[in-house]
Structure 1
Amino acid sequence: MPQRPHHQAPSRRPETSTYAALDLGTNNCRLLVARPSSDGFRVVDAFSRIVRLGEGLGASGRLKEAAIGRTIEALKVCRSKMEARGVGRARLIATEACRAAANGGEFIARVREEADLELEIVDRETEAHLAVAGCAALADSRASGVLLFDIGGGSSELVWLDGPAGRRGELRDRVRFWTSLPVGVVTLAERHGGVEVSRESFERMVIEVEDMLSQFAADVAGSERCDKFHLLGTSGTVTTIAGVHLRLPRYDRRQVDGLWMHDADVETVMDQLLDMSFDQRAANPCIGSERADLVLAGCAILEAIRRAFPADRLRIADRGLREGILMELMSADGVWTSRRGRYA
């Protein structure tokens, strides 16, 4: 694996290239390995592990040694998978935890030394645009305005998209406003508590996020919202809500990605989650013990977004930064304009 895979030159044989995208967030380490296909790309391998890299970051301002160790072990798995699949082009990004930590640079150096991977700390604007690249295909083409949001572990990105969905190259032109809030499920849960969450403490979380959202809401107040306006969400929070709504016996991406939910259905699920104990949340197959203390913080961020941007519909995306990275890498290599008929 080259030292800086995201700086590799484009492959001369895009139809046989294998690409990788890694997203290291405050809570999760996620990898996708894919090959181009006629309608996008075909995933050939994937990896996801909750590492909680940003655990305690809000209080200390530093990444903890235990969290660093967990994360480096996960990254070693990712490297092995990329090597096994013969990845030729990759981009490996780190987001809010590494941006915010005083020892973020030291962590990147340790990853280089111990896992032999070069992570790129991206800024918030890049993170927002990658979320757009990964999810915008799910926006209703009839809507003149769509609010896309990504609730992360340490930050949450919101993007206002104008106009109908177009070709890949037109995506950036649709972004009219964007913001990145310095709050995510990990940071909010650590401040307010995530195990025992009363309706009063939940409301305090919502109000905190509403205050952060106020300027962005004012900025987009004059934008057009036709009757097709909707929210488009990507994150563990919204996919969890979808899974609970569908009463899935185990999480199934095929049933969740692209699902439309009515506003009343979202409200019902959040009420159900608020009524559950921690043990009940942990026992739910679409939540699990590793996320049971975070899901209500995510719901509070979602509730603040719903209050600021009322919409009858929410579309769920089980896709995001990794898919955006893959789309941008493959587009830069011209894989959809060269020998299209030979893709599997």
Structure 2
Amino acid sequence: MLRASVDLGTNTCLLLVAEWDEVKGEVKKIVFDTTSIVRLGERVDVTKLLSEVAIERTLKTLKAYADKLRSFALDPGKAICVATSQARDAENGAEFFTRVEKETGLKFEILSGKDEAHYTFLGGILPGMQTSKTAVIDIGGGSTEFMAESGGLSLDMGSVRFTERYFKTKPGMPISDQQFWDCQEAVDQMLEKVKTWRNRLPNDTQLLAVAGTATTLAAYHLSLVRYDASLIDQVVLTRGDLHRMVEELKWRTAEERRQLPGMEQGREDVILAGTLILWRSMELLGFQNCRVSSRGLRFGVLNMA
């Protein structure tokens, strides 16, 4: 039986079509899996509105996704479609999703931060991992979720949100040292809210990083020419790896980052903020390393059907 999901975030929009095992309640085979950078949440942190340019950009992708679902003989209206941080923040979010349903047939549910963390945890776990000894971090464009089997939390701290707040630069210019330190201080302050959650977890808990920041860093770490999920799922990054990546990224312009191996096109301007969030999370929460998963929310929400 085929099931499909669409995960619409602040920065990306993902479509998954998979064979679903009804007995085990899990994905049996990935049929189609794709990601598009739409930046729907562009400037939402400031304006609290989805811009017309971002709306049109996203609608174009969603119309293509609806057509792809029909090519698999699937009804777009029955796909499990979820939206996250930008939809929670935008005052015109409801109006946008009404238009989406009218023009594409896709029906979206806006997840709370708690539900987003829950389904990300369910979807991110890789085969063979023990859920009781795993904690998931999902660095999105507008928020970051921390989740373990015992529960979790969501913070309004993401790669797009913090890039727009702290890393504004003129085209062709790198960020300044002061901008970097201001952003790091803000990340560290946000992470104070996570320490109680971390203290409840076993010391040997394995951190698992999902979503675009993590998979891009894994591809960069491997110098991948072409994205390969099977290789991404084997990557383990140490705190030293993340610190080195932060140092390598912060002195480069967005254009220079775009040329780095494994860099997902369209993510070069926000990758530094995402990397900083992951590195500081590992440092302040006492994780020596993190494994990377190419899976995540789009897999977890298939359980909602």
Task: Give the SS at the match of 1:214.
Answer: helix
Q: Distance in 2 between matches of 1:279 and 1:304?
A: 25
Task: Give the SS at the match of 2:125.
Answer: helix
- CA deviations 1:218-239 (Å, max 9, x no partner) are 343244313xx33210121111
2:137 is the counterpart of 1:149: yes
The 5-angstrom pairing of residues 73-88 of structure 1 reads 73-87=60-74
Q: Distance in 2 between matches of 1:289 and 1:215?
A: 32
Contact 1:94–1:121 (8 Å) recurs in 2? yes
Q: 2:194 aligns with which of 210, 216, 231?
A: 216
2:243 is the counterpart of 1:256: no
Q: Could you say which residue in structure 1 is the equivalent of 2:218?
A: 242
Q: Could you say which residue in structure 2 is the equivalent of 1:65?
A: 52
For structure 1, the 5+ residue unaligned runs are 1-16, 162-174, 333-344
Going from structure 1 to structure 2, the CA distance change for 1:203 and 1:41 (only over 3 Å counts) comes to farther
2:142 is the counterpart of 1:158: no
Contact 2:10–2:140 (8 Å) recurs in 1? yes
Amino acid across the alignment from 2:262: C
2:178 is the counterpart of 1:189: no
Q: Could you say which residue in structure 2 is the equivalent of 1:170?
A: none
Give 1:87 shift. Answer: 2.3
Contact 2:137–2:144 (8 Å) recurs in 1? yes
Task: Give the SS at the match of 1:251.
Answer: coil
- CA deviations 1:121-153 (Å, max 9, x no partner) are 111111111111111236743x96433110001
Amino acid across the alignment from 2:252: M
Contact 1:203–1:300 (8 Å) recurs in 2? no
Amino acid across the alignment from 2:189: D
What is the RMSD of the two structures over their aligned residues, measured on CA atoms? Answer: 2.2
Going from structure 1 to structure 2, the CA distance change for 1:115 and 1:237 (only over 3 Å counts) comes to same
- CA deviations 1:78-101 (Å, max 9, x no partner) are 111111102265211111111110
Q: Distance in 2 between matches of 1:269 and 1:247?
A: 13
Contact 1:194–1:296 (8 Å) recurs in 2? no
2:18 is the counterpart of 1:34: yes
Q: Could you say which residue in structure 2 is the equivalent of 1:297?
A: 273
Contact 1:257–1:317 (8 Å) recurs in 2? yes
Choose 74-83 or 33-42, whichever is displaced more. 33-42
Q: Distance in 1 between matches of 2:133 and 2:38?
A: 35
Task: Give the SS at the match of 2:157.
Answer: coil
Contact 2:125–2:295 (8 Å) recurs in 1? no
Task: Give the SS at the match of 2:146.
Answer: strand
2:287 is the counterpart of 1:311: yes
TM-score (norm 2): 0.89
Amino acid across the alignment from 1:177: G
Spell out structure 1 runs of 4+ moving beyond 4 A: none
- CA deviations 1:218-277 (Å, max 9, x no partner) are 343244313xx3321012111122111112223322211232223322322332222433
Aligned length: 296
Q: Distance in 1 between matches of 2:29 and 2:197?
A: 38
TM-score (norm 1): 0.80
Q: Distance in 2 between matches of 1:135 and 1:300?
A: 21
Task: Give the SS at the match of 1:20.
Answer: strand
Task: Give the SS at the match of 1:42.
Answer: strand
Going from structure 1 to structure 2, the CA distance change for 1:261 and 1:177 (only over 3 Å counts) comes to same
Choose 98-107 or 130-139, whichever is displaced more. 130-139
Q: Distance in 1 between matches of 2:233 and 2:168?
A: 26
Structure exhibiting the larger radius of gyration computed from Cα positions: 1
The 5-angstrom pairing of residues 258-337 of structure 1 reads 258-326=234-302, 328-329=303-304
For structure 2, the 5+ residue unaligned runs are none
